[in-house]
Structure 1
Amino acid sequence: MIKKVQRFLKKVSFAPSGYGFSVYLDGKPIKTPKGLMVTVPNAFLARAITLEWQKQEGIIKPATMPITQLTCTTLDRVIPNRTSVIEQMVEYAHTDLLCYRAETPVDLNARQNDIWQPILNWAAKTLNTPLKVGYGIRYVAQSDEAIFKLRNVLERYDNWELTSITQMAPIFGSLLLALAVSENQIKWDQAYSASILEEMFQVEMWGEDHDAMQRRNAIKLEVNDSINFLLLARSEKP
């Protein structure tokens, strides 16, 4: 994470560097917390980072620079640990939200089937990764073959795309929802709504809690940041 520091900078710019573009503050390259130059694969990402820094006044606030933060995550965590990051994502398949349905109430179960099952069907057909479904809190053991195929799916993503998935899957509680968004099968806000289906069912029954609503709105912004990062990373892809 970029530390909070006083900003006495006059110029933020980006320029071609190596295999991409680097961002500079008063002619000096921005560096990640681990000391790596902030170099991104295309000018769209570099411009977005530049704009985030240009908007800083006084104390630099990392929370207002999501693209910069996700770039640092890619460079410091995902790229040097790609294999272990993929394994961490694969683990979500063992407890994927979409594979655990409520037994009661019947209305909730029906809603889960209507909204979640199409994503499971898509994954089985398009990604060739059929996952089993269970009911209640009983653990559902997925087949080694399905896990192997999901790992292969994740291997197809580049490091920048993978970063976006690592942000979405924990928020959704579902690797399949993150993949469905990444593959343009559903929109990100639909995926988020699917991930909080049970919570919203409870809201309908018992009413809204202000703090919970604020928490959901904040989390929704995090998902939006991940999607913006994904779109920027893909900007020059065929």
Structure 2
Amino acid sequence: MYHFKYKNFVVTFNIVRYMATLKRFYRKTNILLSDGKFEITLDQRKLKTPQRKVLQVDSKPLALAIAAEWDMQKNTIDKSSMHLTALCNTVIDNPHNHTKQDMVNYIVNCLEMDTILFHSYENEELYKLQTENWDPLVQWFCDNYGVNLIKTQSIKAPTVPLETKAILTRHLMSHNYSAVCGFMYGVDAIKSVILTLAAAERVISIKEAVRQSRLEENYQVSHWGSVEWFHDHNKYDLQSRLAAAILFVHLNSYSVSYQPKIDKNVD
């Protein structure tokens, strides 16, 4: 398990070993500065994307985190655990030709299927648990963004007002392309726009966001038991994905790039 600290964020990447397909071919990793961008090297080779483009980022901490992902690989390379690398590849290659507006529209539409807006209509005990845990987060979302949301107790999706969608769209569009890609990655991981934004705003921790997203599953496990190793694996996988997404958002929102010092004594 690897812990990466940046400012007030301490995120944990749980590395789960899957079936390996590629042996480690390098001894050490490093980063270098090239034309104001940071690149990652594997020995003397520059890391490249699946489309053979040089992987470059604006943020030095992000470059260090990506290098750490590669440095953590042992005898074999497990690409499925390297979420920051995958995010950078997606941003640079853009294999589906997504615009920022495309991704923002996708995230906003996901609000209608947000996990914590769907409350149980069959189990009173579960409904009470959901209300106690989820209602404060929904209220935070409404207060923070000045919007209205209504939860549902049926399989029918809740109606999200057009004004709410417009406000959320403006908020997401204020971020750069890379950050929006990070938001989308987080939403896809835990199936919740509200929890992803709450984690990004530091209202809740990564672990808490994942716990809330798995509330119904945890309830069922408490009553019927868990499948050995499966539920823990799922929890840690979601934590690593969301942690990478939130870190990606912040490191791309507050890029730390090299700027040469200016000698004031030079005319």
TM-score band, normalised by shorter chain: 0.7 to 0.9
The 3 A distance-change label for structure 1 pair 11 and 88 is same
Alpha-carbon distance in 1 for matches of 2:192, 2:138: 11
Unmatched 5+ residue regions in structure 1?
none
Shift of the alpha carbon at 1:195? 0.8
Shift of the alpha carbon at 1:80? 5.4
Identity %: 23
Deviation per CA, 1:140-184: give whole Å up to 9, x if none: 221111111111121122233323321221222211111111111
The residue number in structure 1 matching 2:155 is: 137
Question: Which residues in structure 2 correspond to 1:185-204 (within 5 Å)?
Answer: 185-204=203-222
Aligned partner (choices 16, 30, 33) of residue 50 of structure 2: 33
2:128 is matched by which residue type in structure 1? A
Shift of the alpha carbon at 1:221? 2.9
Specify which structure has the higher proportion of helix. 1
1:88 is matched by which residue type in structure 2? Y
2:117 is matched by which residue type in structure 1? C
RMSD: 2.6
Is structure 2 residue 123 aligned with structure 1 residue 109?
no
Alpha-carbon distance in 1 for matches of 2:101, 2:94: 11
Contact 2:108 2:165 in 1 (8 A): yes
Using CA pairs below 8 Å that are at least 6 residues apart, which structure has the higher relative contact order? 2
The 3 A distance-change label for structure 1 pair 98 and 55 is closer
Unmatched 5+ residue regions in structure 2?
1-19, 257-267
Aligned partner (choices 104, 108, 122) of residue 86 of structure 1: 104
2:161 is matched by which residue type in structure 1? S
Contact 1:120 1:130 in 2 (8 A): no
Aligned partner (choices 227, 242, 245) of residue 226 of structure 1: 245
Shift of the alpha carbon at 1:58? 4.7
Question: Which residues in structure 2 correspond to 1:1-238 (within 5 Å)?
Answer: 5-9=22-26, 12-77=29-94, 81=98, 82-210=100-228, 211-233=230-252, 236=255
Count the aligned residue pairs.
235
Secondary structure of the equivalent of 2:94?
helix
Alpha-carbon distance in 2 for matches of 1:37, 1:67: 15
1:74 is matched by which residue type in structure 2? V
TM-score, with structure 1 as normaliser:
0.85
The residue number in structure 1 matching 2:265 is: none
Secondary structure of the equivalent of 1:134?
coil
Deviation per CA, 1:20-45: give whole Å up to 9, x if none: 21223344432211232211111111
Secondary structure of the equivalent of 2:33?
strand
Secondary structure of the equivalent of 1:16?
strand
Contact 1:12 1:26 in 2 (8 A): yes
Shift of the alpha carbon at 1:92? 0.5
